[in-house]
Copies of this chain bind each other. A is one copy, B any other.
Amino acid sequence: MAKLRLFVEQSLAPGQSVSLTREQAHYLFGVMRLAEGAEILVFDGQNGEFAARIAEAGKRGGRLDIGARTRPLQAPPDLWLLFAPIKKARTDFIVEKAAEMGAARILPVQTEFTNSERIRRERLQAHAVEAAEQCGGTFIPEVCDLERLDRLLADWPAERRLMFCDEALVGARAALSGPPAPWAILIGPEGGFSGSERARLHAMEQAVAVSLGPRILRADTAVVAALALWQSLLGDW
């Protein structure tokens, strides 16, 4: 059976001792019923994954002894995911999938047709952590605060290319090529981009419009499909 994996905030190295938070203790000892001496895996998002042994197990806390490094950090490509938040469950899902698919940074954006005006950033960050814990990840993508798309684009880094998914388009996969570069993927809201947003995107030198096929995809589907396309052509697949 696969060992339980836990993300910890503290920077890890062999021989260290790590104090558990109340939530971590509740999860390990209350929910998962682990006892002193049990072996788990821990990762910190920076130094890879380490073996760990439960040295103390209490109701409100506990302690891990960190052993050998079991895997190096496997950072994803320098890829951002920008998306317009939708209904809560599907927004949670988008963050989970972006973490699984190897986005390095997740940026919720407010477009002209975005319905949701606020997000719960910490809740979404927790979903990214859980996805990494469950899927063997060693890296946690940062979930940013909600930002207006027009402000983000006004200040867009010159060297970062931007793939946006345009429903009007067919067969632009060839545009996804070129030398290694930082990239971002932008998935619009359910109502699509506004006319001015679309015009602005098409005018950006860094931007590439890409089709995701002849069927209209929900935003959460489009996120996974776009990440798969990018990873297979330009990423680490």
Interface residues of A (CB under 8 A from B): 74, 76, 97, 100-102, 134-137, 171, 173, 211-218, 221, 224-229, 231-232, 235-237
Asked if residues B135 and A217 are in contact (CB atoms below 8 Å), the reply is: yes
CB A196 to nearest CB in B, in angstroms, measures 20
Using known A-B contacts A228-B228, A228-B229, A229-B232, determine if residue A215 contacts B173 with beta carbons closer than 8 Å: no
- Cβ-defined contact, B231 with A213, below 8 A: yes
Are A100 and B218 neighbours in the complex by a CB distance under 8 Å?
yes
Report the separation of the CA atoms of residues A232 and B217 in the bound assembly, to the nearest whole angstrom.
14
User: Chain A's interface: helix, strand, loop or mixed, by majority?
Assistant: loop
Give the distance to chain B from A77, nearest Cβ to Cβ, in Å.
10
Question: Copy number in this complex?
Answer: 2
Asked whether B173 lies within 8 Å of A221 as measured between CB atoms, the reply is no
Which partner residue on chain B sits nearest A2 by CB separation? Answer: B191
**Residue contact A136 to B215, C-beta cutoff 8 Å:** yes
Q: Are the CB atoms of A101 and B217 closer together than 8 Å?
A: yes
